[in-house]
Chain A
Amino acid sequence: MNEHPQEPMSRQQLEGLFKQYSDSLGEPSRTPYPRPRRSKLPAYAAVFVVLALALVALWPRDALAARLKQIGLAIKDAKTMEMTFSRLQPSGRWVQWLHTYYTEGMWRQEIEKGVGQRETVVTRNGLMLSDYHRLDHATLGPVWKEEGQADFEQQSALDYALDRYGQSASDETVTRSTQGHSDVNGRAAYAIVVDRSGDTPGPWSDHMEIVVDKQTNYPISADIRDVRPGENGGEFKMHQDYRFNMPLDPALFELKSDKPIVDLRESPGRLAKEWAHPLAELGPTQIRDASVTRDGTIWIAYTTNSDDESAAAPTEISIEGARYVSLGAFTGPVGEAAIHLQGQEVEVVGFAPLEVPAKPPFVAVVRFQPESSLNVPPENPPAPFMGAVPLNLTLVAGEYPPYFPLLGYDRAILEVQIATWGARAKGLVDAGRYLDAAHAYERTAKECENFVKYIGYRDLDKAAECYDKLGMAAEAARDRALADALHAARER
């Protein structure tokens, strides 16, 4: 690039300043932690081979490595795999939270992440059928994954494990050995025992005992004890059972459901018909739908050029006599699987009233700010408003607009009430209405019971803080005790 003739600040000066700034930010205090990660897909599907891979990489010349190599080769040649994964909750209850089936590039996962998050996922031929059991529909569409995840449907279990192998802290220590083991169902077996530990971000350790069939080299089971630091840390026990080359019912891998199936590949066409006439336009931004649910929550769907940071985005709702808070943007499939309409990305934002109205409003004034203003840190000065548009609202039944399933917002549907009450609670705190805020936080915690139960402890703690401000010590103590109990049990 050519130097500008009237450069206001020399390149060297600029580079020097940025170097100082960069240095001042320092290093992250937390480092990636060597444990399976949260994922829509089964992060724990092959802990054994993850371990095998780690050991091969770390200690490639010994006899154990040779054994692990044999195991890896055996797994690669397997025709089918079935794995169950159970976890001992801090409450003392064992929960089977994952059941995985694999054959010929097809996967089926039955996942229980929480009471409200029981989900069955079948993946084959680049398509994914997702069925959250609490929803009235299943969703079919292109496989989508979080950025950086592997195209797991094209992989063997070992390939999958390879991609799941995470980062190790530099201070990690590992010891491993093979040990004798009693026969399992009449078959000779041995055990591989591995201990890992480290001090980053705090003291952590895991101990794994993997039982392997001596003749076939297939893993039979694994027991894991995992001690992790942090707010949600503690000691966790997990157990896996593996079965290889057993017949699996082909029906397990069918992209079928007893419920109606929403095919996301048809969504752009259906939405183009339903949203053929934009309700309003501001530059490239077109308001496609404005709905209100019975609790007064307003949903604005719009399409825009997501790369155009000056494009208008709805950020505020004005209704006389009511105060609204934003729920933020809702999201569904990402990347190539994201739903587009006429080449534009579909976005949905929600706005909840601080008070649930006796009657939902029928008209709202929506105000807009540049899309770029949504992507800046909150401490920045707010961007100026670009305009305001009055919109007639369509009353819809239920808790969310009917187009949510067409956008693949399945998980978002399950979170609507948590998001709504959480935002309302924060808005009430901002308004200094601490008693109402405490009640709203308690309601948020209640809604969490339908999703992942224990995470409501944070909202109960916030409710307690609100009671503190009002001098309501008994109520604060009650909510803190409830929060502590939820957190201690860690029931999902």
Chain B
Amino acid sequence: MSLALEWLRPKTGEDPMAYHGEVFRYAMAKLGNREDAEDVAIEVVQALPSPCHKRDLRVYMLGMTRRKAITLLRRRRPVVEVEDRDSAVRFDDRADQAAMVGQVLAGIHEEHREVLTLKYMAGLTSAEIGKITGKRAEAVDSMLQRAREAFAEAWTRLSSDEVKP
């Protein structure tokens, strides 16, 4: 058998568990379903050894999450149900604002939602987002710009409906 000395060396890699919460939240933003998001997060963490010596582990895990979420959504194709949203949106506290962000995100284009969550939830750079989405950093920048505009427009539309007299 081949020699395997790695296991005797001090473990200097990262524990994928450190990113479990982050992976879950990204999956949640993408899937919109807590149970599925938890399944995906567990799968991603468990697919990796601990410690894991992979470079840019966090970005790698978010990329895995994205692909697993897409696969899951594709398997859901038959289930195209439009559920009534909670229309009781108010704009008077942080929890409501967070709920509104979720609503606005759900209503904008998938590509926009993706870059916004990767940028502002995961805190990735454009280059890192490009690694995950297979786009050049410049293209990510352009996409981000459009995504911000789309988000702001949808946000204004939703918030003004509810708040402004």
Residue numbers of A with Cβ under 8 A of B are 1, 4, 7-9, 14-15, 17-25, 27-33, 37, 53, 56-57, 69, 72, 75-79, 102, 104-105, 146-150, 154-159, 162-168, 307, 309, 315, 325-329, 331, 349, 372-382, 423, 426-427
26 contacts between A and B (CB under 8 A): A1-B145, A7-B148, A17-B97, A17-B98, A18-B101, A20-B98, A22-B121, A23-B98, A28-B42, A32-B45, A69-B8, A75-B1, A76-B3, A146-B47, A155-B2, A162-B6, A167-B17, A167-B46, A315-B77, A325-B78, A327-B78, A372-B111, A375-B74, A377-B32, A380-B82, A423-B78
Give the residues in chain A near B34, CB-CB below 8 Å: 29
Partner of B47, one of A147, A307, A329, A376: A147
In contact, A72 and B110 (Cβ under 8 angstroms): no
Q: Is residue B28 contacting chain A, with contact meaning CB distance below 8 A? A: yes
Q: Is residue B149 contacting chain A, with contact meaning CB distance below 8 A? A: yes
In the complex, the chain A residue whose C-beta lies closest to that of B134 is: A307
Shortest Cβ distance from residue A310 to the other chain B in the assembled complex, whole angstroms? 9
A30 to B15, CA, bound (A): 17
In the complex, the chain B residue whose C-beta lies closest to that of A309 is: B111
Shortest Cβ distance from residue B91 to the other chain A in the assembled complex, whole angstroms? 12
B106-128 interface (Cβ within 8 A of A): 106-107, 109-111, 116-117, 120-121, 126
Knowing A4-B145, A374-B77, A380-B106, the reply to whether A20 touches B97 (Cβ < 8 A) is yes
In contact, A20 and B153 (Cβ under 8 angstroms): no
Residue numbers of B with Cβ under 8 A of A are 1-4, 6-8, 11, 15-17, 20-21, 24-25, 28-34, 37-38, 41-42, 44-50, 64, 67-71, 73-83, 85, 94-95, 97-99, 101-102, 105-107, 109-111, 116-117, 120-121, 126, 134, 141, 144-145, 148-149, 151-153, 155-156
Shortest Cβ distance from residue B18 to the other chain A in the assembled complex, whole angstroms? 10
Shortest Cβ distance from residue A348 to the other chain B in the assembled complex, whole angstroms? 11
B contact patch SS: helix
A490 to B89, CA, bound (A): 45
Knowing A155-B4, A157-B1, A326-B78, the reply to whether A380 touches B107 (Cβ < 8 A) is yes
A461 to B32, CA, bound (A): 26
Shortest Cβ distance from residue B130 to the other chain A in the assembled complex, whole angstroms? 12
**With A20-B98, A162-B6, A375-B69 given, can you name 4 additional A-B contacts, CB distance below 8 Å?**
A30-B42, A147-B67, A423-B78, A426-B79
